[in-house]
Structure 1
Amino acid sequence: MSQNDHPILRCLFERRSVRKYTDEPIVREDILSILEAGRWAPSGLNNQPWRFMVISRGDERVESLAGCTKYGTIVRAAGALIGVFLDKEAMYSELKDHQTAGACIQNMMLAAHALGLGSVWLGEIVNQAPQVLDVLSLDPAAYECMAIIAVGHPAHPGASSRKPLSELMLEDF
């Protein structure tokens, strides 16, 4: 079976980071599907430490969030922003919980792609995490900002390239 014959593999290989969006609104059901995909990510001890916040286009906090990252134009253009945070009370292992947040984010981006939406992982915004938490009125003692995912109807398909697998292998098998 080739990768193009398997829907999950096809989704993995076709997904791209999309940074430009149309003005078409995102339906609530699609956002819920994306959140559900994140909810089903694996987590150590099944602790599910992630917490989500959806900020829709037109929300007064969008402009303040745009000021928290050098990618403010993407924040302003997105149909929705999904904040992914770790609940510090639910965490049991910093390393494992950070890894599981990455799996959660990847699940949501794959779900967005499967729904015909574009998304991009705004990880740079964590460099201003205290400011982000303040904008969103979240207690920094309770939550850790992992990323903001920008989602929207793609204005372009996105593009990417990858190094050959041979360059990534530490040894041949």
Structure 2
Amino acid sequence: MKEEQKDAVLEAMHQRRSIRAYTDEDVAREEIETVLEAGRWAPSGLNNQPWRFLVVRAGDRRQEALAEQTKYGHVVRRAKVLIGVYLDREAKYDDRKDNQGAGACIQNMLLAVHALGLGAVWLGEIINHEPDVVEAAGLDPARYEMMALLAVGRPDQKGSSDRKPLDDLLLEPLA
């Protein structure tokens, strides 16, 4: 990998932030497709790609139904686009591996959002209300398992974050 490519990838990982406030400006269809393509290219066990996406644009009746399923309803209501990430139970082969793949898929999408100059937040708390959330989205809870809801829009805030020191995360010191 070329040095500038490596730097760009690492920089994106370090600069990406969770954005919970959005302007009134729309998100273009092409931008949404770019984000979905990034998710589509995530790794998965046996390359089974069990994730499925539901895109809900601002003003869709499902936006309010989803907002009512989470304590972060204010974020859901302000988003220009919501991307529901689900696992298709008929495409799954291993819970742990498929959940890990969904996490990789979501991270790819969040990095794509950042690369496009958009903002997003991974809403995970909403899954505490599954299967009601899946039904609110108009899907079959027997078939689709919700992994996350991404709220997306043009940033109306600066993100901030800090991280624990690497030494605090290591189970033993690096050799």
Same fold (TM over 0.5): yes
Q: Structure 2: 5+ residue runs without aligned partners?
A: none
**1:150 partner letter:** A
C-alpha distance in structure 2 between counterparts of 1:43 and 1:5, whole Å: 23
TM-fit CA distance, 1:3:
9.5
Residue-by-residue CA offset, 1:76-97 (whole Å, 9 max, x unaligned):
0011000000000100000000
C-alpha distance in structure 1 between counterparts of 2:13 and 2:136, whole Å: 33
TM-fit CA distance, 1:133:
1.0
1:29 aligns with 2:30: yes
**1:140 partner letter:** P
Q: Is the 8 A contact 1:3 1:9 kept in 2?
A: no
Q: Structure 1: 5+ residue runs without aligned partners?
A: none
Q: Is the 8 A contact 2:17 2:160 kept in 1?
A: yes
C-alpha distance in structure 2 between counterparts of 1:126 and 1:171, whole Å: 34
C-alpha distance in structure 1 between counterparts of 2:24 and 2:120, whole Å: 14
| Aligned residue in 2 for 1:124 | 125
Provide runs of 4+ in structure 1 moved above 3 Å.
Answer: 1-5
**1:42 partner letter:** P
| Aligned residue in 2 for 1:100 | 101
C-alpha distance in structure 2 between counterparts of 1:5 and 1:41, whole Å: 18
C-alpha distance in structure 2 between counterparts of 1:70 and 1:3, whole Å: 41
Structure 1 residues 29-38 or 132-141, which shifts more? Answer: 132-141
Q: Secondary structure of the residue that 1:149 maps to in structure 2?
A: strand
Q: Is the 8 A contact 1:4 1:10 kept in 2?
A: no
Counterparts in 2 of 1:56 and 1:90: CA distance versus 1, 3 Å: same
CA-based RMSD of the aligned residues comes to: 1.6
Identity among equivalent positions (%) equals 59
